[in-house]
């Protein structure tokens, strides 16, 4: 048995499902004295081996006995699991045995049929979650650095693509562009569905295609435009829009000719200059990216990877703001199907007010977010309360661990004890996807090019590096 495994205590009518959350030695009265006595005896009289009644064997057995601390998770009666755990089985007449995750899953109604295989449980049996468990839900993947979070996000993404779903990924480390490929660079099946967008290159917007609402939200939130100037801006915009003349060039001349206070004009110009020089907007029709086209061109789902590496923090915020508001607008008008959003380290580009928006309003319209972070404290407690699924990897810091333990939906004892002992590549899955029965999963490797690895200075093995000075090898 390992921490995280399940046990079932059976009585004729019903059985109690338990989960092991901690393991320790059985402490019986006087055991320490006994151990000390034996140590002294064996040290002082090494020749004495005769033990006709085999007392040492029993004593060794007792000394090695472990006690498993468990939490009751529910009751199985008539083959069905209910979360009720308000009874105690008989100590003498009940039977305790291991309950495999497979059998546990058999006792609850399945959530869906589109399985995404994640890895293995109980050592060797395959484990999958239904894609439906992410649908309409908020998910968090967290754990310490390099624990395998992005790896797991890619597995989920591949699973969603295989089921013809649409995803948008805010990619900070340029690691999702190759998600459709095998390690050798060939297509892993859905490679053609992945589109990488680099802001300022493939990703440029025209003012007309973005629309007034996203632009005003960008001006007020990312560029902090005051209310009075914003009202003037809306008037200018509407005038140009009515004349069908929306473009950067016409906006500039309209601001110049607009009759308004000089301060307001300055404010308008300052924002206009930011917008015009950030490289995200264009007047040329064949340079602009149309989000709706992506959906209509990829009928069987796809992944839109928005590459945010090498993009300035302000531009990052603007790109994210524009994409999100465009998504919501298209969803509201029912022009596109719901979308899964993968957001790595979202606190780096998501303004504060957007968090709640994502988990409330946007979720209702059909943006289902998977937050990936190695800083669990970057996500507010309020958000955790709304989260449906949590994938937890190991944490090295106790404060992170405590925070996550408190925030997650399972009892904090379990989370703390299990997460602390999680080996690499294993994660604890909590929440809706596993019907609130925490499961420890050994995550599968994936056949994809290694990416997102931290760039290193020392790349060569020591022998070669010694032969060639670092400055020469570096550029090669
Ligand atoms: N289940 C797994 N099987 C095999 N390799 C894995 C597994 N999980 C992660 N890895 C590998 O471990 C390395 C780190 O994983 P990954 O980049 O997913 O970590 P991360 O938690 O996203 O790290 P960071 O905090 O730096 O973003 C990668 O090279 C990845 O391929
Ligand atoms: Mg990562």
Which residue's alpha carbon is nearest to atom 2 within ligand 1? 445
- pLDDT surpassing 60 at residue 465: no
Residues 129/40, Cβ–Cβ less than 8 Å: no
Distance 440 CA to ligand 1 centre (A): 17
Is residue 97 in a domain?
yes
Distance 171 CA to ligand 2 centre (A): 9
Q: What are the pocket residues of ligand 1 if the criterion is a CB atom closer than 6 Å to any ligand atom?
A: 143, 145-151, 374, 425, 443-445, 450, 452-453
Distance 273 CA to ligand 1 centre (A): 41
- pLDDT surpassing 50 at residue 263: yes
| Residue 460 CB coordination number (10 Å) | 14
Average pLDDT rounded to a whole number, residues 261-272: 86
Ligand positioned closest to the Cα atom of 143 = 1
Range name among 48-52, 114-118, 466-470, 472-476 with the lowest pLDDT average: 472-476
**Per-residue pLDDT tens digits for 3-43:** 899 999 999 999 999 999 998 888 878 878 877 887 887 77
Q: In angstroms, what CA-CA distances link 225 with 258, 263, 325, 419?
A: 17, 12, 18, 45
Ligand 1 pocket test: which of 150, 174, 309 has the largest number of ligand atoms within 8 Å of its C-beta?
150
Ligand 1 pocket test: which of 119, 151, 441 has the largest number of ligand atoms within 8 Å of its C-beta?
151
Ligand 1 pocket test: which of 141, 452, 453 has the largest number of ligand atoms within 8 Å of its C-beta?
452
More confident residue, 428 or 36: 428
Is residue 229 in a domain?
yes
Arithmetic mean of pLDDT over the chain? 86
pLDDT of residue 476: 39
pLDDT of residue 473: 46
pLDDT of residue 7: 95
Range name among 166-175, 244-253, 445-454 with the lowest pLDDT average: 445-454
Q: pLDDT band at 463, cuts 50/70/90?
A: low
**Which ligand 1 atom sits nearest the alpha carbon of residue 425?**
1
Which residue's alpha carbon is nearest to atom 5 within ligand 1? 445
pLDDT of residue 451: 66
Which residue's alpha carbon is nearest to atom 23 within ligand 1? 146
- pLDDT surpassing 80 at residue 393: yes
* b (16+ CB within 10 A) / e for 222-240: bbebeeebbebbeebbeeb
Distance 147 CA to ligand 1 centre (A): 6
pLDDT of residue 474: 45
**Which ligand 1 atom sits nearest the alpha carbon of residue 173?**
27
Ligand 1 pocket test: which of 146, 440, 451 has the largest number of ligand atoms within 8 Å of its C-beta?
146
Distance 387 CA to ligand 1 centre (A): 23
Residues 201/280, Cβ–Cβ less than 8 Å: no
Structural domain tally of the chain? 2
Is residue 155 in a domain?
no
Is residue 257 in a domain?
yes
Is residue 220 in a domain?
yes
Distance 118 CA to ligand 1 centre (A): 14
**Per-residue pLDDT tens digits for 302-323:** 999 999 988 888 888 888 888 8
Residues 280/199, Cβ–Cβ less than 8 Å: yes
Which residue's alpha carbon is nearest to atom 16 within ligand 1? 148
Average pLDDT rounded to a whole number, residues 271-285: 87
Total residues belonging to the chain: 476
Domain boundary among 222, 251, 277: 277
Residue 209 burial class via C-beta count within 10 angstroms: exposed 0-12, middle 13-18, buried 19 and up = middle
Residues 308/201, Cβ–Cβ less than 8 Å: no
Domain boundary among 55, 72, 106: 106
pLDDT of residue 386: 86
- pLDDT surpassing 50 at residue 261: yes
More confident residue, 218 or 48: 218
**Per-residue pLDDT tens digits for 330-353:** 999 999 999 999 999 888 888 777
**Per-residue pLDDT tens digits for 126-179:** 999 999 999 999 999 999 988 999 999 999 999 999 999 999 999 998 899 888
Q: pLDDT band at 47, cuts 50/70/90?
A: low
This prediction has a pTM of 0.87
pLDDT of residue 472: 47
Is residue 101 in a domain?
yes
- Tell me how far the alpha carbon of residue 266 is from its chain's centroid: 42
Distance 148 CA to ligand 2 centre (A): 7
Domain boundary among 41, 72, 106: 106
Task: Give the tokens for residue 384.
Answer: 């955790």
Distance 428 CA to ligand 1 centre (A): 15
Distance 151 CA to ligand 1 centre (A): 5
pLDDT of residue 361: 83
Distance 143 CA to ligand 1 centre (A): 11
Distance 124 CA to ligand 1 centre (A): 21
Is residue 237 in a domain?
yes
Which residue's alpha carbon is nearest to atom 11 within ligand 1? 148
Residue among 363, 348, 369, 429 at smallest CA distance from 393: 429
Q: Which domain range does residue 220 map to? A: 207-277
Is residue 241 in a domain?
yes
Which residue's alpha carbon is nearest to atom 12 within ligand 1? 148
Residue 440 burial class via C-beta count within 10 angstroms: exposed 0-12, middle 13-18, buried 19 and up = buried
Percent of the chain at pLDDT > 70 equals 93
Percent of the chain at pLDDT > 90 equals 35
**Which ligand 1 atom sits nearest the alpha carbon of residue 119?**
1
Which residue's alpha carbon is nearest to atom 4 within ligand 1? 445
- pLDDT surpassing 80 at residue 72: yes
**Which ligand 1 atom sits nearest the alpha carbon of residue 153?**
18
- pLDDT surpassing 60 at residue 452: no
- pLDDT surpassing 90 at residue 206: no
């Amino acid at each position: 048995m390992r921490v995280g495994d399940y046990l079932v205590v059976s009585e004729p009518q019903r059985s109690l499902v338990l989960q092991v959350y901690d393991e320790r030695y059985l402490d019986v009265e006087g055991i320490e004295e006994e151990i000390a006595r034996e140590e002294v005896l064996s040290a002082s009289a090494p020749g004495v081996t005769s033990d006709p009644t085999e007392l040492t064997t029993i004593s060794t057995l007792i000394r090695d006995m472990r006690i498993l601390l468990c939490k009751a998770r529910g009751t199985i009666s008539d083959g069905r699991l209910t979360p009720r755990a308000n009874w105690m089985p008989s100590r003498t007449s009940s039977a305790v045995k291991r309950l495999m995750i497979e059998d546990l899953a058999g006792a609850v109604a399945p959530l869906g049929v589109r399985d995404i295989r994640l890895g293995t449980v109980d050592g060797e049996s395959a484990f999958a979650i239904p894609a439906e468990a992410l649908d309409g839900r908020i998910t968090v993947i967290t754990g310490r650095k390099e624990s395998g979070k992005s790896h797991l996000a890619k597995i989920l993404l591949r699973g969603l693509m295989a089921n013809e779903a649409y995803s948008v990924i805010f990619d900070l480390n340029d690691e999702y562009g190759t998600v459709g490929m095998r390690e050798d660079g060939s297509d892993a099946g859905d490679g053609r569905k992945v589109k990488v967008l680099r802001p300022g290159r493939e990703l440029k917007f025209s003012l007309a295609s973005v629309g007034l609402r996203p632009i005003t939200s960008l001006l007020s939130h990312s560029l902090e435009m005051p209310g009075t100037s914003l009202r003037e801006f809306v008037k200018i915009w509407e005038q140009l829009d009515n004349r069908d003349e929306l473009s950067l060039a016409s906006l500039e001349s309209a601001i110049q000719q607009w009759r308004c206070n000089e301060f307001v004009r300055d404010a308008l110009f300052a924002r206009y200059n930011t917008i015009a020089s950030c490289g995200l907007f264009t007047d040329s029709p064949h340079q602009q990216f149309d989000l709706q086209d992506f959906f209509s061109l990829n009928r069987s789902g796809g992944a839109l990877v928005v590459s945010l590496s090498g993009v300035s923090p302000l531009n990052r915020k603007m790109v994210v703001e524009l994409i999100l508001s465009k998504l919501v607008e298209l969803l509201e008008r029912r022009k596109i199907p719901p979308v899964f959003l993968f957001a790595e380290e979202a606190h780096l580009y998501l303004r504060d007010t957007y968090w709640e928006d994502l988990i409330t309003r946007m979720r209702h319209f059909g943006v289902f977010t998977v937050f990936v972070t190695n800083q669990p404290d970057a996500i507010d407690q309020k958000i955790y309360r709304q989260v449906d699924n949590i994938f937890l990897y190991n944490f090295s810091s106790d404060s992170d661990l405590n925070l996550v333990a408190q925030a997650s939906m399972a009892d904090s004892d379990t989370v703390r004890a299990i997460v602390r002992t999680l080996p690499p590549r294993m994660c604890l899955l909590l929440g809706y996807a596993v019907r609130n029965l925490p499961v420890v999963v050994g995550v599968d490797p994936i056949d994809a090019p290694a990416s997102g690895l931290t760039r290193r200075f020392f790349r060569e093995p020591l022998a070669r590096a010694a032969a060639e000075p670092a400055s020469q090898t570096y550029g090669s």
